Amino acid sequence: MGRPKQNLPRTLREPRRTRARTRHTHAKRWLLSTWSTATAALAAAAVVAAIALLAHTNSQAAAESRIDHEVSALLAGIPQRASTLGNPNAPVNLQVFLDLKDPDSRSWFLKDLPAIISDEVRTGALKLEYHAYKTNTRSPQEFVKDQTAALAAGAQDKLWNYIYTFYHEQGSEFAPYATETYLDNLAHQSPGLNVAQWHTDRHTERREEQTTQEDQTARTLNLHVTPSFRIGRTGGPLHNYAGHSILKYGEQHPIALPEASDIATTIKGLDPTSPTTR
């Protein structure tokens, strides 16, 4: 007579298989828990990144709005034609030679030029002419791209709005920040500029050649840095010009960047009947 069959629990009858299944279940639960935790962490990180991006976007939009308002207020009502700002019949002409990526050009543009525009250009005593001069931009191709973007804005009489905005938003001197997106954004910030036409104008009317020629002209005129200046009576000879205090050096030549008081004194000397306010 055989031994009675023992009715043992399966965990005792199949301990190895059960333990393996238990370990698998625990591992699966751990993986699910880990995956859930990671998913939650990624979701939280995405929310934080989205909030940060939105804050940055709002901050950038606010800064651009402030710049647009400031530039528009400064230039409102002043005639612009191509590269010239001011009454074309103003008695005195000031040529400015600039590199859009030069921090000294930016400093003069934002610090000293607003008073010159308000006191001399707006009153009709002075007109300004913009000229390109490569000093700080790293490559010739980059220089031409930036400058022709400004000249194309000038085709719609918006050059000074464009370069003023460029200087307000100028990046690090040696960083390649002036991408197509950057230049396009500047165009959109110039009130009244037809951006589609601006894109076309960048590559027409031999603007690339004009930029290169202006750079060569600056060198033949014995100009050494940006910003550099030439001044004289409209229609008459111009001479290289500087202010009263030395602010920078170029090729061992001291350069004094003119302030509003320098311009007013010079205008009075060139045209005693000038309506200058200083």
Do 109 and 243 fall within a single domain?
Answer: yes
- Total structural domains in the chain? 2
Predicted local confidence at residue 36, as pLDDT: 72
Averaged pLDDT for residues 190-209: 93
5 within some domain: no
Do 158 and 25 fall within a single domain?
Answer: no
156 within some domain: yes
- Residue 140 is part of which domain span? 77-270
Q: Give which of 278, 249, 225, 265 is closest to 96, Cα–Cα.
A: 225
**When comparing pLDDT for 209 and 53, which is higher?**
209
CATH number at 236 reads 3.40.30.10
Averaged pLDDT for residues 205-224: 93
Whether 132 contacts 215, CB under 8 Å: yes
Averaged pLDDT for residues 52-58: 52
Do 89 and 53 fall within a single domain?
Answer: no
Averaged pLDDT for residues 253-274: 85
Token pair 């238990």 is found at 22
Strand order through the sheet with 239-241: 80-81, 84-85, 126-132, 92-98, 228-233, 239-241
204 within some domain: yes
Predicted local confidence at residue 56, as pLDDT: 45
Do 125 and 241 fall within a single domain?
Answer: yes
Among the ranges given (2-6, 36-40, 41-45), the one the predictor scored with the smallest mean pLDDT = 2-6
Averaged pLDDT for residues 90-95: 97
Mean per-residue pLDDT over the chain, rounded: 84
50 within some domain: yes
Predicted local confidence at residue 121, as pLDDT: 97
Q: What letter represents residue 194's amino acid?
A: N
Among the ranges given (71-80, 174-183, 250-259, 260-269), the one the predictor scored with the smallest mean pLDDT = 250-259
Looking at the chain, the whole-number percentage of residues with pLDDT higher than 90 is 59
List, in order, residues 6 or more apart from 140 with CB less than 8 Å away.
Answer: 134, 212
Do 265 and 133 fall within a single domain?
Answer: yes
Residue 132: band (very low, low, confident or very high) from pLDDT cuts 50, 70, 90: very high
Measured CA to CA in angstroms, residue 270 lies from 94, 103, 126, 149, 261 at distances of 12, 30, 11, 34, 14
The DSSP secondary structure of 197-223, one letter per residue, reads HHHHHTTSTTHHHHHHHHHHHHHHTT-
Residue 53 has pLDDT above 80, yes or no: no
Do 220 and 165 fall within a single domain?
Answer: yes
Among the ranges given (45-49, 135-139, 145-149), the one the predictor scored with the smallest mean pLDDT = 45-49
As given in the structure block, the two tokens for residue 28 are: 């699966």
**When comparing pLDDT for 232 and 25, which is higher?**
232
Token pair 């200058």 is found at 276
Residue 8 has pLDDT above 80, yes or no: no
> Whole-prediction pTM value?
0.75
Distance CA 132, CA 123 (A): 26
Distance CA 257, CA 163 (A): 19
Do 147 and 262 fall within a single domain?
Answer: yes
Averaged pLDDT for residues 93-108: 95
Residue 20 has pLDDT above 70, yes or no: no
Residue 35 has pLDDT above 60, yes or no: yes
Predicted local confidence at residue 2, as pLDDT: 54
